[in-house]
């Protein structure tokens, strides 16, 4: 600054001397004025160039100037560069932030004070059936027309959350969304959406399950209370008394079976997967199940009925790695079902077969009534029965196949059901090779072959 001022004064002095030399009275003043004017014009021109440079926002190519203006340009360039870096870093941060919200499995919508969409992520767009770009600045209530949503969003207090149908919900395809609104900033609102289809489904299943269990227990309880009342109020002969007591015992047994099956199911759900270290001998397993099935078959045989024919077969010495109780439950449920549903004189074959790929399968084939194809996919649902009265009559709980399926899943196997109405059924359990242990060949056999 000082050298520039001194330079200006020096130029003015030189110009004044030159002016004096040309014209002694007004020459010095004019000379000094001309230098001032030139200096002002030069500064204006430089200022103009700098303004242009700033206007074009080309920080990297500043006009080349020396002295005070050059210093000024350098400083400006440094400040502008610093600002640029800051803006870039902030933009990057914002971009990362938006990408993180985009990656969220939940929907996020930012609303302005008028309830217009300022921004939304793809999940929210998918949940609410919006277009993340096209629908910006649209009122959210114009796009989501669910009355529950409308009431919630237009109310003054947004307590808790509401559950509405998602955009792609249909009769066949339930899609439930939880929607929550939160205030933030200056009158802005944050709308969060979450897919709660699974939760709603589990909730519905739990409600159905409780209703089914209550219903299953209520029926025998009602019958028993009726008998108890009869026994309490009427003077009965010993024969009648015994008859009623026997009927009560049947109902009590029904409730016991139901509670047992419910306990098995809850244990299956709550326990760790069956180990692959515990060998179960198939021969031993089957001898108990066969005795049970033959007993059941005899029990349901009426006078003049032709007995059922039961055939059991399994290769000797094979071990199955798994939980004995669970395997017993799955296999006996299939065998007992065949016995219960097959009419007198029918044939029931229970067969273990080693498959070529070392898996092992157990199948029960009966010549019973068979099952219409529309029921097949639902048979393993809890309490699903084709013929309710037939199932109850024969002591069914409606949980046998659900238990068998669960046991197979836990052992890494599968349950297959094939049936044809009027022709009989085949229920098959297939266990993976990893759970099969074959008997070792007798010593010396390997050497002699």
Question: What tokens does 219 get?
Answer: 């029926």
CA-based nearest residue to 430, from 342, 351, 345, 338: 351
- Least CB distance to ligand ADP at residue 218 (A): 17
- Residue 379, interface with ligand ADP (CB under 6 A)? yes
Query: In the numeric block, which tokens belong to residue 290?
Result: 């066969």
| Distance between CA atoms of residues 364 and 311, nearest Å | 10
Build a one-symbol-per-residue string for 338-367: x at contacts with ligand ADP by CB under 6 A, - elsewhere: x--x------------------------x-
- Based on CB atoms, which residue is closest to ligand ADP, 406 or 435? 406
**Window of 44-52, 321-329, 382-390, 440-448 that interacts with ligand ADP by CB under 6 A:** 382-390
- Asked if 425 is part of the footprint of ligand ADP (rule: CB under 6 A), the reply reads yes
Locate the DSSP E strands across 328-438. 347-354, 360-366, 414-420, 424-431, 436-437
Q: Does 308 bind ligand ADP (CB under 6 A)?
A: no
How far CA 167 is from CA of 130, 170, 221, 270, in Å, comes to 9, 9, 45, 35
Residue number with CB closer to ligand ADP (322 or 369): 369
Q: Which of 101, 310, 323, 386 binds ligand ADP (CB under 6 A)?
A: 386
Q: Is there binding between residue 282 and ligand ADP (CB under 6 A)? A: no
Is residue 428 a contact residue for ligand ADP (CB under 6 A)? Answer: no
Distance CA 118, CA 136 (A): 6
Of 123 and 342, the one with the shorter C-beta distance to ligand ADP is 342
308 versus 391: smaller Cβ distance to ligand ADP: 391
Backbone angles phi, psi at 124, to 5 degrees: -65, -40
Shortest separation between residue 351's beta carbon and ligand ADP, angstroms? 15
Q: Compute CA distances 404 → 333, 410, 413, whole Å.
A: 7, 10, 11
Cα distance between residue 240 and residue 227, in whole Å: 11
Residues 25-44 close enough to bind ligand ADP by CB under 6 A: none
Q: How far is the CB of 330 from ligand ADP (least distance, A)?
A: 11
Q: Is 369 in the site for ligand ADP (CB under 6 A)?
A: yes
* Residues 400-419: x where in contact with ligand ADP by CB under 6 A, - otherwise, as a string: xxx-----------------
Task: Return all residues near 58 (Cβ < 8 A) that are at least 6 apart.
Answer: none
Among 28, 322, 346, 368, binds ligand ADP (CB under 6 A): 368
Cα distances (Å, whole numbers) of residue 425 to 8, 151, 305, 321, 420: 114, 54, 22, 27, 7
Q: How far is the CB of 170 from ligand ADP (least distance, A)?
A: 29
Residue 179 half-sphere exposure toward CB, CA atoms < 13 A = 26
Which residues contribute to the site for ligand ADP (CB under 6 A)?
333, 337-338, 341, 366, 368-369, 371, 379, 385-387, 391, 396-402, 425
């Amino acid at each position: 600054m000082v050298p520039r001022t001194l330079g200006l004064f020096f130029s003015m002095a030189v110009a004044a001397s030159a002016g004096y030399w040309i014209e002694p009275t007004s020459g010095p003043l004019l000379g000094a004025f001309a230098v001032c004017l030139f200096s002002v014009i030069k500064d204006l021109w430089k200022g103009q160039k700098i303004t242009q440079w700033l206007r074009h926002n080309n920080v990297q190519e500043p006009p080349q100037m020396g002295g005070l203006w050059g210093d000024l340009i350098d400083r400006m360039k440094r400040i502008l560069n610093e600002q640029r870096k800051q803006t870039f870093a902030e933009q990057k941060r914002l971009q990362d932030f938006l990408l993180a919200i985009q990656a969220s499995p939940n929907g996020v919508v930012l609303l302005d004070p008028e309830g217009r969409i300022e921004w939304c992520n793809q999940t929210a767009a998918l949940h609410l059936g919006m277009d993340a770009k096209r629908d910006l600045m649209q009122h959210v209530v114009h796009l989501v027309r669910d009355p529950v949503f409308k009431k919630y969003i237009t109310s003054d207090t947004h307590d808790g959350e509401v559950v509405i149908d998602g955009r792609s919900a249909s009769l066949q395809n339930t899609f439930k969304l939880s929607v929550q609104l939160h205030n933030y900033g200056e009158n802005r609102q944050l709308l969060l959406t979450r897919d709660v289809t699974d939760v709603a489904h589990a909730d519905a299943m739990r409600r159905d399950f409780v209703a089914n269990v209550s219903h299953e227990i209520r029926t025998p309880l009602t019958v028993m209370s009726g008998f108890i009342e009869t026994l309490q109020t009427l003077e009965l002969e010993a024969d009648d008394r015994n008859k009623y007591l026997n009927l009560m015992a049947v109902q009590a047994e029904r409730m016991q079976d139901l509670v047992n099956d419910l306990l098995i199911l809850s244990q299956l759900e709550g326990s760790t997967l069956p180990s692959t270290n515990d060998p179960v001998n198939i021969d031993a397993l089957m001898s108990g199940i066969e005795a049970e099935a033959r007993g059941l078959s005899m029990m349901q045989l009426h006078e003049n009925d032709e007995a059922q024919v039961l055939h059991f077969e399994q290769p000797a010495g094979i071990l199955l790695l798994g939980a004995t109780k669970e395997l017993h439950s799955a296999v006996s449920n299939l065998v007992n079902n065949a016995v219960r549903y097959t009419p007198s004189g029918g044939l029931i074959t229970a067969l273990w077969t080693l498959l070529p790929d070392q898996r092992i399968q157990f199948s029960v084939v009966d010549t019973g009534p068979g099952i219409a194809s529309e029921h097949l996919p639902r048979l393993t649902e809890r309490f699903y029965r084709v013929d309710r009265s037939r199932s109850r009559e024969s002591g069914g709980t409606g949980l046998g196949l659900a238990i068998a399926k669960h046991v197979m899943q836990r052992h890494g196997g599968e349950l297959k059901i094939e049936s044809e109405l009027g022709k009989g059924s085949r229920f098959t359990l297939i266990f993976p090779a990893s759970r099969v242990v074959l008997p070792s060949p007798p010593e010396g056999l390997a050497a002699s072959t």
